[in-house]
Structure 1
């Protein structure tokens, strides 16, 4: 009997498909175990075909974008992982910018700037993809995706394409309805405002300067690890608890910004998760505050 690897490669010879592929090659933390199958569709049709293939063959399916706010456990992921970074087109028409799921959020802000459109400046340095940004309502410096997204095109688990308007996405702090459903972001359209290009550029440059001066961009990391608890600043809590520099294996609480955990060399996902657990325990004991992770954690234990 033909196995699933042979079946998928025979059915989709035009799609790059890798087997037993370490996901550490794709995550910003440079950690993560192997996936059984990893596919890289280059357009919506290929993505749709792969999703339908997974459904028809009862193959577990995981969708990944830029993997900038993601930890994949060291046991990796069973089934099929679709990485959408090849879906990376960005277009502008009038006051709208539309970007497909794998497009860089940073590049999308640059396209908006080039067309003199304001509203996405807050995202100038966020390293994620459009799909991930919509999925988690990414934000920084007082702005959030929910403030500017007009409509999102998604793919349902059975391969149907549909569109959600902003109000249908039920955005909240680092959340959207997509987190409770299995729809896959294909593209997002942002409704922006005409502005002075010099002013837009200046604001983007200022926020990028602030980011570079405060965040440990010189090390691999998964970005901000924890959600901001009501009435507190996460970084200050961790700093006040004396945890900056705390290290397990190759994962360390950043000495530059306590809200980040960085890979200082050969860290594993387990190192990251153990540091996270230690931080949560100490902060709960010292300040009676429960830190909830913002980073998405998926995959199996080794």
Structure 2
């Protein structure tokens, strides 16, 4: 069943929209319906209408650590670029789900608040970062998280505390309860603005020097396996630089897969599976994906 967009004439929808326009990999099939709510009320209307019509909802954030398969996504896809406000109150920064983590760290620095510098280069949205418990360079969202407003599948908005989020490596309770993050609040400490900026600059330089930012990618593809580092395993297996279709194991950082020539999501998936099989055969190590993979395979 198609989402009845005619019942919500004031909300922006795009029909049969290529999701490759919204992902960092520049891959992904079409959404049956893509919605751009501007307010909480519109978001609640979409969720309630989908529930009443038994239509599946998928939310994508900045799609920086996401692969959408080439068959696209059925039901309705919601994206929240209009939810981008960031505010500072005392030692807390509250950011709406569609705001970027990068802009959130910038606002914290302007206010002389420290603790979230580790996230200065993470390209995701606040909603996605909370959903995934995003992390980098020794820090994770859970380290600075205070609370989040979440729209539940029943249409109710609930505030989740830190203890209710069930945070662990790249996990939060939102992955299980079907909720949609509306905003996140982060509790920080007072600090020196220049020192905070210096740490953000250091983190960003590390990212620029080590990661293949010059190509589209989905960020770090695999979780770190116990007692191993993923990149060196892939290098030892002789897979760095390996190409399938338009996707390549990055020559700069073997833990990344980059789009070098009009890659498809299927190219990404085939390369991921090859890496997993090879690492298992050569080293008896199971590699599990960190990147979120959603959608349907393309029908032949």
- Aligned partner (choices 225, 228, 234) of residue 230 of structure 2: 234
Give the aligned partner of residue 296 of structure 2: 300
Give the aligned partner of residue 133 of structure 2: 137
Paired residue secondary structure (2:297): coil
- Aligned partner (choices 78, 83, 88) of residue 82 of structure 1: 78
118-127 vs 236-245, which deviates more? 236-245
Output one character per residue of 1:153-196: Cα deviation in whole Å (capped at 9) or x when no partner: 10111110001100110100111111122011111000000000
Alpha-carbon distance in 1 for matches of 2:208, 2:97: 26
- What's the offset of the Cα at 1:11? 2.4
Give the aligned partner of residue 39 of structure 2: 43
Give the aligned partner of residue 201 of structure 1: 197
TM-score, reference length from structure 2: 0.98
Alpha-carbon distance in 2 for matches of 1:296, 1:81: 15
Q: Unaligned 5+ residue runs, structure 1? A: none
Matches within 5 A, 1:206-225: 206-225=202-221
Count of matched residue positions in the alignment of Structure 1 and Structure 2: 298
Give the aligned partner of residue 18 of structure 2: 22
1:253 aligns with 2:245: no
Give the aligned partner of residue 150 of structure 1: 146
Alpha-carbon distance in 2 for matches of 1:131, 1:236: 31
Give the aligned partner of residue 8 of structure 2: 12
Give the aligned partner of residue 178 of structure 2: 182
Output one character per residue of 1:12-64: Cα deviation in whole Å (capped at 9) or x when no partner: 22221000001000010000000100000112111111011100111111111
Alpha-carbon distance in 2 for matches of 1:145, 1:85: 20
- What's the offset of the Cα at 1:4? 4.2
Paired residue secondary structure (2:103): helix
Give the aligned partner of residue 271 of structure 1: 267
- Aligned partner (choices 256, 278, 287) of residue 282 of structure 1: 278
Paired residue secondary structure (1:146): helix
Q: Unaligned 5+ residue runs, structure 2? A: none
Matches within 5 A, 1:102-113: 102-113=98-109
